[in-house]
Structure 1
Amino acid sequence: MARENGSAIVFSGLVLLVAGAFYAYARASQVDLGNDRYALSARFISANGLHVGAEVQLAGVPVGRVTAIALDPATAMANVGFTLDRDLSLPADSGVMIGSATMTGDDALMVVPGKAPARLPPGAVITNAQEAVSLEQQVSNYIFGNGGLPSDSMQ
């Protein structure tokens, strides 16, 4: 009987250890650990599909993480806080959009660099922001629209 109790205690301890390791991994994947980054934010009409911990991508390459999503009650807009790698210096007219590289992938915050000579300082707010287009809307645009082709190619 004492041996059964000892086995149950050891097994319970292993289960707790595995659960703790999984929790630590999940938390580490949601925050930046040891990366030298600076904070920016953007305002969206809707941040639908985006979540805290989502990647920030530039040219399909992860360059940061979404750190906060909050509703501004005064403007009824979603404020999205995110970080970027310190070695990136974005032009002041850069934009952001919510999207996914694939239909099955998680939504990410995609940075669209501008061309202005002035640079965004840390803590700046990007006002050139585009919301995510739902899968239904994308399919509808493809079926009933021009499939995303430039209008001059439809001749």
Structure 2
Amino acid sequence: MARENGSAIVFSGLVLLVAGAFYAYARASQVDLGHDRYHLTARFISANGLHVGAEVQLAGVPVGRVTAITLDPVSAMANVGFTVDRALQLPADSAVTIGSATMTDEDALMVQPGKAPTHLAPGAVITNAQEAVSLEQQVSNYIFGNGGLPSDSTPGSD
């Protein structure tokens, strides 16, 4: 009986140790360790599909991480805090969107650099932001809308 209790305690300890290791790995993968980055904020009508720890991408290349998603109670808009590599000098008219490169990827914050001669300063707020359009919304737009066809090409308009 004592042997069974001892092995149960050892096994439980190993399970807790493995769970702790997974937790530490998950937290470390969500934090930018050793990167020289600066903080920016984007304001969205909806941050649906985005989560803290998601990648920030520029031309499909990861350049930062989403650090916070909060709701501004006054404007009812989502404030998305994120970091980007300090080596990037993003133009002041840059835009951000929520999306993914493929249907199987997680949503990421995608940066589209502008052409302004001035650059975004650390802590700047990007207001040129577009939320993701869900697959369901895209299909609905195609089915119940005109599917992207010119309005004069509807059946029976001859």
TM exceeds 0.5?
A: yes
Q: What's the CA shift string for 1:18-65, capped at 9, x where partnerless?
A: 000011111112221221111000101111111111110000111111
Q: Which residue is equivalent to 1:73? A: 73
* Residue ranges of structure 2 left out of the alignment (5+ in a row): 150-158
Q: Which residue is equivalent to 1:4? A: 4
Q: CA deviation at 1:68?
A: 0.7
Where do 4+ consecutive residues of structure 1 move more than 2 Å?
137-143
Q: What's the CA shift string for 1:64-92, capped at 9, x where partnerless?
A: 11111111111111111000011111011
Q: CA deviation at 1:116?
A: 1.0
Q: Which residue is equivalent to 1:23? A: 23
For residue 26 of structure 1, give the secondary structure of its aligned residue in structure 2: helix
Q: CA deviation at 1:2?
A: 2.6
CA RMSD of aligned residues (A): 1.3
Q: Which residue is equivalent to 1:110? A: 110
TM-score (norm 2): 0.87
| Distance in 2 separating the partners of 1:82 and 1:49 | 15
| Distance in 2 separating the partners of 1:134 and 1:111 | 19
Q: Which moved more, 1:10-19 or 1:134-143?
A: 134-143
| Distance in 1 separating the partners of 2:104 and 2:61 | 17
Q: Which is higher, the Rg of structure 1 or of structure 2?
A: 2
Q: Which residue is equivalent to 2:128? A: 128
What is the one-letter code of the residue matched to 1:89?
Q
Q: CA deviation at 1:139?
A: 2.9
What is the one-letter code of the residue matched to 1:84?
V
* Residue ranges of structure 1 left out of the alignment (5+ in a row): 147-155
How many residues end up aligned between the 2 structures? Answer: 146
Q: What's the CA shift string for 1:75-127, capped at 9, x where partnerless?
A: 11111100001111101110000011111211110000011111111000011
Q: Which residue is equivalent to 2:155? A: none
**Structure 1 residue 101 and structure 2 residue 104: aligned?**
no
Aligned identity (percent) is: 87
For residue 98 of structure 2, give the secondary structure of its aligned residue in structure 1: strand
| Distance in 1 separating the partners of 2:117 and 2:142 | 36
